[in-house]
Amino acid sequence: MSRNVINIFPDELEEFRTKTRERNYLLIDVRQPREYAEGHIPGAQLIPLPEIENRIGELGSEQNLILYCRSGGRSAVAAALIKDIGPRQGRIYNLVGGIAGWEGKELKDIPHLELFPRDMPLAQTLFRAMNMEKGAWLFYQDLSQEYAGTELGDMVKDLGGMEEVHARSIFTYWSKLRPAPAAESFEALFERLDGKIMEGGKPISAWMARLGRNPEDRTLRLLELACEIEYYAYDLYRGLAKRDADPEAVKTYLLLAEQEKAHVRVISKALNKAFGD
């Protein structure tokens, strides 16, 4: 039974396909139909990320699944959603670097920062998580102002609103852990948080750099990164739940993880609306 998503690199994919019978695996492209039509890995079946959960019945439980997108972010989200639906006999692979890596393009990654040491108390962990939500909010705020008055600007503003709502939810859990009621309101605390590090342990500048400036695929890149940002947060909270022995902490982290997964679904629907054919 597959318990984890396995990263597979482009050179390993070729070796895997050479040694594995076709009936024992499915190669799945989770991008949008337009992207798939422009070019895809030979033999890949198209199941866009927004459709993954509804089409899980098409994926044999005994088959190995290899998922890819443009750079690895959306496919990581798709793999996590499939893994959470239920147990499988086959393994789930995510193609690192996506089709860009498979085509031999240079891959750039930013080191993940260890922001949550094992001995960090739950209250401090939640406070730091709130600050990361503030970072994501600032990221979307900057973009909503850049695209003010456009459909993209409105969409990004809504994404920022989701981050603020989640930060407020974390504030509720955090307040319960204080020895006395919080001395300041959520609004006051959120205002003073610096948000220098976003979800995924990366600074805002790093996410902005990955977004690029090409207007032709700006919307797609933005939604793709938004999916990845929420996936990082989802993965973070699930990881914290697994390593914590305190039942209350585990419950809190899992609730936060479910909220992040809900954000992924919202972004998936936006992808389908913007690029579904």
* Residue 60 CB partners (closer than 8 Å, separation 6+): 26, 90
In CATH terms, 122-275 corresponds, of 3.20.20.70, 1.20.1260.10, 3.90.1170.40, 3.30.70.1350, to 1.20.1260.10
Q: What is the 3-state secondary structure (H, E, C) of the chain?
A: CCCCEEEECHHHHHHHHHHCCHHHEEEEECCCHHHHHHCCCCCCEECCHHHCHHHHHHCCCCCEEEEECCCCHHHHHHHHHHHHHCCCCCCEEEECCHHHHHCCCCCCCCCCCCCCCCCCCHHHHHHHHHHHHHHHHHHHHHHHHHCCCCHHHHHHHHHHHHHHHHHHHHHHHHHHCCCCCCCCCHHHHHHHCCCCECCCCCEHHHHHHHHCCCCCCHHHHHHHHHHHHHHHHHHHHHHHHHHCCCHHHHHHHHHHHHHHHHHHHHHHHHHHHHHCC
pLDDT at 1: 41
Tell whether the model's pLDDT for residue 192 goes beyond 80: yes
Please report, rounded to a whole number, the percentage of residues in the chain having pLDDT higher than 70. 93
State pLDDT tens for residues 131-181.
999 999 999 999 999 889 988 888 889 989 989 998 999 998 898 887 666
pLDDT at 182: 56
State pLDDT tens for residues 170-187.
998 898 887 666 578 999
pTM above 0.75, yes or no: no
pLDDT at 181: 63
pLDDT at 107: 46
pLDDT at 109: 46
Is 274 in contact with 50 (CB distance < 8 Å)?
no
Tell whether the model's pLDDT for residue 44 goes beyond 80: yes
According to DSSP, the residues that pair with 8 across neighbouring strands are: 95
Residue 230 — pLDDT band, cuts 50, 70, 90? confident
pLDDT at 140: 92
State pLDDT tens for residues 48-73.
999 998 998 888 888 899 999 988 88
pLDDT at 88: 85
pLDDT at 108: 47
Do 122-275 and 5-102 have the same topology in CATH? no
State pLDDT tens for residues 87-125.
888 999 999 889 988 887 654 443 344 678 878 888 888
pLDDT at 111: 39
Architecture of the domain spanning 5-102: 3-Layer(aba) Sandwich (3.40)
Name the residue ranges covered by the structural domains of the chain. Answer: 5-102, 122-275
